[in-house]
Structure 1
Amino acid sequence: MDDQTKLELEAAAFRRLQRHLMEERTDVQNIDMMNLAGFCRNCLARWYQEAATERGIAMSKEEGREAFYGMTMAEWKANYQTEATDQAKAAFKDTHG
């Protein structure tokens, strides 16, 4: 496989993951993702922003989040974020303490 095809497949897989998390599984909370997988939507948004910065593209943390989420964090929280359970908070503290 040539490098361009590999890049295109990786980009397609990323876009599919993004759509899955932002459209199909809005019910899954970031804290639950962190507890299970060690990363969440915010991590993906930060990685996106960091990749832009590495390429000389000025992008703030909030701009990176808006690019990944497709909306502001305030909109995401208002539409989809729920209060974390005590169990989820305790699990997060245990693993990310």
Structure 2
Amino acid sequence: MNKDDRIELEAAVFRRLVEHLRQHTEVQNIDLMILADFCRNCLAKWYTAAAEERGIVMDYEQAREIIYGMPYREWRDKFQREATAEQLAAYERKQQAKSG
């Protein structure tokens, strides 16, 4: 496979991942962090970093809007639920395991 084909495929997969996350708003960011050690906000940070590496001016909120498909505040108000005690405990265990 040549480099251009690989880049096209990677871009298509990324778009599919972002669309999948947009469609599955029931999946909370904390759940993603617990299970996969990344979330929508991580994707936005990586997007911002990739833009900066290429000299493209983009701030974190712009990247979040690309990932969430709407302003983050709007997504949060519509879809984000308060983390449960169980979720918070699982996240803390995950963080301790990473640092420990």
- Scaled to the shorter chain, the TM-score interval is over 0.9
Name the residue aligned to 1:87: 86
Q: How many residues align?
A: 96
Alpha-carbon offset, residue 5 of structure 1? 0.6
Stretch deviating more after TM superposition (44-53 or 60-69): 60-69
Q: Which residue pairs with 1:27 in the alignment?
A: 26
- The percentage of counterpart residues that share the same residue type is 53
Q: SS where residue 83 of structure 1 aligns? A: coil
> Runs in 1 of length 4+ with deviation above 6 angstroms?
none
Structure 1 residues not aligned, in runs of 5+ = none
Alignment of 1:57-68 (within 5 A): 57-68=56-67
TM-score (norm 1): 0.94
Structure 2 segments unaligned to the other structure (5+ residues): none
2:41 maps to a residue whose letter is: N
Greater displacement, 11-20 / 64-73:
64-73
Separation in 2, partners of 1:43, 1:56 = 20
Using structure 2 for the length normalisation, give the TM-score: 0.91
> For residue 40 of structure 2, what is the amino acid of its counterpart?
R
- In structure 1, distance between residues paired with 2:61 and 2:93: 28
